[in-house]
Each structure stands twice: as structure tokens, then as C-alpha cells.
Structure 1
Amino acid sequence: MTESAQRRLARRIAGEVVLSDDAGATLRKWRTDFDVSQTLLAEEVDVSSSVVSDYESGRRENPGIAVVRRFVEALLAIDAGRGGAHIRQYARVVSAGFESDIVLDLREYSRAVPLERFYDAAGATEMAAGDADHVNGHTVIDSIEAITRLSSEEFYRLYGESTDRALVFTEVTRGESPLVALRVLTPTPNAVVLHGIEPRSIWEHAPTLARRDGFSLAASTKNLADLLVDLRKLP
């Protein structure tokens, strides 16, 4: 990953913290997303862990720009020391031009992953079979934010580097909107997962549309945080 991409990511995180109505909660979100403990972050910033806790809980006033910069640089330094997996993950989202509240995760795999294995990691139940038996990556999307805020061109960029991927739509109630939106995409993804909904509650026409367009359709009620962790373990 280039240095400029990492700096863009740093600015994105810092900007989100500074502009947030609850800077402490936003700091906590990014720290936990990077799998960094308060103790480890405090050591990297050279403060006590109670200082980190006080900022995150709001017991201290909102951190200034200098403090935010130290925290962000510390998160990136810790992750870089671990191999940079989270940096690469978020940099892909930033480079694709998406806000972090629209695209929750975007990954390319080092090799093709059998669809059955992907569904196992996602805790998903297949509702309709597709034409492909593998995926080369995934994108996890907040369906409401994506459908209301993205243009058709931006929607296509959800594919990342490969269309042979799975699109996971969260915040789904029945699945009409994601399935209708996918009708404008050519080619279609290999698989679509509707997250947060039981198979029996899916829009009755969804499996038919999936079969017509040739992609596998599945549903998952797995805890979102656990789903993201397990998908990031795929190669």
C-alpha cells in the first residue's frame, strides 16, 4: 500500500473523530475496529490507559486536533507493526471513494474461496443457487445508506477489484431494495447475502430474481461484529 493511501486513511479517521458529535465514542469505534486494546494504545501514545478510557467515555473534554492525531498515528503504527491488515482493508474502502458508514468492509482474497466456506464464515443459509461456486472477495454494505446515497456508477464500485465476489447487505428488512438495485448491475456478483433477516422473512420474489440473474442468494442473522471478524479470516 502506498504512503499516500495510508495518509488518506489517517485523515479520514481523524476527520470523522473531529466532526463527530461524540468524539470519544468515535475514537472507541476505530480502536476496537483495529483490534487494539486501551492499554496497548496508551503505551503507543505514551499516556496512561485511564487517559484513553476518559476520552472514550467522555469524562475528559473532547480531544483536540493534536491529541486525535497522536491517537490515529498510534493506531496505524500498531497495525503496521502487525502486518498492516486493517490498514489495507480500510484503505481499499477509502480508495474506492466510500464513506465508512456505507461500506463496512471491502476485501480481495489471495485465492478463490469456495462459496460453501464463505457461507459458513458468514453464518448464511443459501436460498437460491447461482452459476458460480466460489468468490474472490467480499463487500459488506449498509443497504439503507448505499441505496439512498449511491449513484448507479458508485454502486458498481462496490465490486472493488473483482465482480466474482459476495455482496453482503446489512440492515435488511425483506430484501426488495437490494435485489431491485442489483438488476441494474452488469455483470452481477457471484453471491448476495441479506444480513439481519431469517430466510422465511425474505421477500418472496427474491430467490426468483437471483436465479434469473445467475447469482447465489443467502440470508444470515449472525452477529454483525462476529461476521466481519470471521470474513476477515478468509485468505
Structure 2
Amino acid sequence: MVGRGPKRELAEKIAGEITLSDDPGATLRKWRTDFDISQTDLAVELEISSSVISDYESGRRESPGIGVVRRLVTGLLSIDERRGGDRIRQYGRVLSAGFDSDVVYDLREYASSIPLEQLHREFDATEIAGSTTELISGHTVIDSIEAITRLSSEEFFRLYGQSTNRVLVFTNVTRGEGVGIALRVLNPTPNAVILHGLEEDELWEHAAELARIDSYSLAVTSAPLEDVLDYLGSLE
């Protein structure tokens, strides 16, 4: 279907998920929206009507066979490549670090450090507990529930990439209790943490105290996750 490397791995993952899904249309829609590709753009790429894509995703049309799935996946990846290949590279970084893409959304090292305050400003984040950290050298975006339930302590350390001088952005957070406790038992801890999806008044009452004890900056943001990922993906 495609060449070797992360692109092929990603193609096989998408195709496998669509083919084995109880709701192939919903799974196709999930991947299409994750790639930020409209039904119209995908239809133009495949030289078919956008109503065909809509029918597959809604279940009005019979589940796509292997040949159709192959074309759909190839179309998604081809559009991403023409746009610069951000999604393919993002998956490649996560894959090379040994994680599944439903646990870690993105993992990146920067060519030069950037101000932590810059991220807080871009995400309209509220810093709950400060630290001496001013610059960070990378980020990891993690689904908190999947990480806490599926990763071993050794795998948790790999979230740090090449350095703990990074920000860990945890999504799927309700109060931040699980994240705070998980980080409490790990040594070392990251220099900065951003909890995504909650407001300051929703935060677990002990979260700030634990952050101060372990000397990491803690902030919360309710910015759309897509915007967070898009901005982090633009950093070099």
C-alpha cells in the first residue's frame, strides 16, 4: 500500500482498526477528523462523490471492503504528505518511543529551548503552582487514563523522551488526582505539567501541594485539544 517505515506502520494501523471495528464508519470518521481532512477533500483525492464518504461514515452504505479501505487510507496519507506530513511524523515519533498512539498523542524534542510561559500564553493556561523552570526542551502529550492504566513505571519514564526538562500535557483529566499521585511515586519528575480539559476550580485540592513538593510547574487549560496539538506540532 505504501512505503516502509512509520507511514506503512500507520497505514496498517488505520486499515486494521477500520476493518476490525464494530462500526467501521465511525472509525473512518475518527481517523479522517484526526488528520483534519474534510469529507470533500478526501472525496476529491479519491475521485468520488463526497456523499460516498458520508454514506460509509454514517453506515448508510455497506461496510467498506479491503480494497475500499486501502484506497481510503492511502488517500488520507497522501493528503497529509502534501500538507507536510505532520501526522505521519507525529506517529513516527510516538512509535519510535515505543508507545501506542492512543496512549501518547505526540512526543517531541525542540532544536532550542522555549519559554514555558509561551505555552501557558498560547493555551490560555492558568499556572497553579510555579517552579524555577523558565525554559523547556520538549513535550509529551498523554492520555492520562490510558497511561495510568496501561504503562509500567519503566514505560512511564520513557514519556520524558530525551530529558525531564519538558512539559507533560495530560488529557482526559477529571480532577488531576491520578496524575498527581502517579508523578508523586516517580523520581525524577518532569519540570512542567499541564492538565488539559479542566478549570482551576475543578482541580483536585492536593494537586498544587504535590507539585510544589516535587518542584514542577503545574497549570490547567481548557483550550481545544486540537488547537493544543496543532500548536505543539508547529514547534521546532
TM-score (norm 2): 0.90
CA positional deviation for 1:116: 0.7
What's the counterpart of residue 231 of structure 1? 232
Distance across 2 between alignment mates of 1:122 and 1:225: 11
Distance across 2 between alignment mates of 1:134 and 1:15: 40
Q: How many residues align?
A: 234
Please give the per-residue CA displacement for 1:148-193, whole angstroms capped at 9, x wherever unaligned: 1111112122223432211111222221211111123333212111
Does the Cα contact within 8 Å between 1:121 and 1:231 map onto a contact in 2? Answer: no
What's the counterpart of residue 180 of structure 2? 179
CA positional deviation for 1:141: 1.6
Distance across 2 between alignment mates of 1:24 and 1:136: 39
SS in structure 1 at match of 2:218: strand
What's the counterpart of residue 11 of structure 1? 12
Q: Percent identity?
A: 63
1:48-127 aligned at under 5 Å gives the runs 48-127=49-128
Amino acid at match of 1:127: I
Does the Cα contact within 8 Å between 2:6 and 2:91 map onto a contact in 1? Answer: no
Distance across 1 between alignment mates of 2:125 and 2:20: 36
Residues 1:149 and 2:150 aligned together = yes
CA positional deviation for 1:121: 2.2
Amino acid at match of 2:37: V
CA positional deviation for 1:73: 1.4
Q: Which runs of 5+ in 2 are unaligned?
A: none
Cα root mean square deviation, aligned: 1.9
Distance across 2 between alignment mates of 1:47 and 1:186: 54
SS in structure 2 at match of 1:3: coil
Please give the per-residue CA displacement for 1:55-91, whole angstroms capped at 9, x wherever unaligned: 1121111111221111111211121122211110122
Distance across 2 between alignment mates of 1:66 and 1:200: 50
Amino acid at match of 2:96: S
What's the counterpart of residue 196 of structure 2? 195
Distance across 2 between alignment mates of 1:10 and 1:162: 30
SS in structure 1 at match of 2:48: coil
Please give the per-residue CA displacement for 1:191-231, whole angstroms capped at 9, x wherever unaligned: 11112222133222222221222211001122223332333
Q: After the TM superposition, which segments of 4 or more aligned residues of structure 1 sit over 4 Å from their partners?
A: none
Q: Would the alpha carbon gap of residues 148 and 110 (structure 1) be closer, same or farther in structure 2, given more than 3 Å must change?
A: same
Distance across 1 between alignment mates of 2:214 and 2:222: 24
What's the counterpart of residue 46 of structure 1? 47
Amino acid at match of 1:47: I
